[in-house]
Amino acid sequence: MADRIRAAKQSTTMPPPSLELPLTPGAGIFDPSIDAEFWVPYSAAERAFARMRRLANSPIVSRPACLMIEAPTNHGKTQIAMRFKAVQEASVGPGDGEMAVIPVIRFFAPPGSDRRLMLLRMIEELGAQPVSSRDATALQNQLVHLLRRTGTRLILIDEFHQMLTGSAGAQTAFLGVLKDLINETQIPVVVFGLREATRALQTDQQLGNRFDVLEMPLWEPNESFARFAGCVWMTWFPEDSELFESPNFIQRLHAETEGLTGEVVKRLRAIAYRARIEGVAKLSEEYARYVPWTPPSRRRAGIG
C-alpha cells in the first residue's frame, strides 16, 4: 500500500464537486468500470465462507448440521451467498451427460411462507421444468430426485426473513417442508436473514436445533475497516489510497455508513462517480464531504 500512496501523492487533489453534475449512480450516467460487480475479501466474509465450505464438504449424515448467517439489512449477506456459489461452481467438473453437477443452489425465500413457490424456485435453480405448478407433493418428490442427480451439497436461502410475512400456519407449514427436505436429501442448508428470521427458525424446535447462528458484526472504525474501504476505493482508483490512512476520514466514513458493508460500497461509489465525471484522480476529505449523502438510519426514518 505504501507504493500506492507514494504514487498517489503525485496526483492533483480533487477540487470540490460541481453542483451541476449528477450526484449519484443512476442519475443518467452509466460507467461500467464503477457499476460492475467486484469482490473485496474481508475477515467476516472469510469466516462465513469457511463455515459454508465445511458444511458442503461434510460427510453425508441423516441429520446434517445447518447454518443461519444473521446480519442487518445491506451488510453483505447476498454478496457472500453469490460469491460462495460462484466459487463452488467454478471448481466442479461435468455431470453424467444428462444432468450438470450443481454443487450449490441459491434462491430467495418466497414472501408469505409460500412452500409451493419455494419448491418451484429450487427446481428452476436446478434447470428443470416443474412437473406441476400446484401439487406441492409432486414438486417435492421431483426436487428430491433432482438434488440427488445433480450432486448438490449445499442449499443457500437468501432473504429468509421474507417468510415472516406469512401467517403463523403458513410459517409452520413452510418450516415443515424445509425440515422434510433436509431429512430426505441429507443436504445442509444455509439461510441468510435478519435477526427476526433466527427467532422464526426456533418455532420448530427440531429444525432450529440444527442451525448454528453466525452473526456478521458491524464494522468498527479501525484499521480493518480502513483497509476494506481503501481496497474498495482502489478498485476504481488504483493509485489513490492515502486518505484511507486518515483517522478523521475513517471516522467520518464510518459514521456516514453506520458500519454496514453495503453502505460503505454505496457511499464510495457515489464519490467515485463524481470523481470520474470531473476527471479528478486523488481523493480529499473536503471533496468527499461535499458529495451529498444521507446515512441509512435517516433514510429509513424519511429524513433527507
Instruction: Tell the CATH superfamily of the 66-209 domain.
Output: P-loop containing nucleotide triphosphate hydrolases (3.40.50.300)
pTM of this structure: 0.86
C-alpha 185: how far from its chain's center?
26
Structural domain boundaries in the chain: 2-36+219-295, 66-209
User: What pLDDT is stored for residue 98 in this prediction?
Assistant: 63
User: What pLDDT is stored for residue 134 in this prediction?
Assistant: 83
Q: What is the pLDDT of residues 38-63, one digit of tens each?
A: 999 999 999 999 999 999 999 999 99
User: What pLDDT is stored for residue 16 in this prediction?
Assistant: 45
User: What pLDDT is stored for residue 31 in this prediction?
Assistant: 73
Instruction: Please identify every stretch of the chain with a pLDDT value under 70, giving residue numbers as ranges.
Output: 1-30, 93-98, 304
Measure the CA–CA gap between 19 and 264, rounded to whole angstroms. Answer: 22
User: What pLDDT is stored for residue 199 in this prediction?
Assistant: 85
Phi first, then psi: give them for residue 126, nearest 5 degrees. -90, 5
Q: Quick one: cell of 304? A: 433527507
User: What pLDDT is stored for residue 95 in this prediction?
Assistant: 53
User: What pLDDT is stored for residue 18 in this prediction?
Assistant: 42
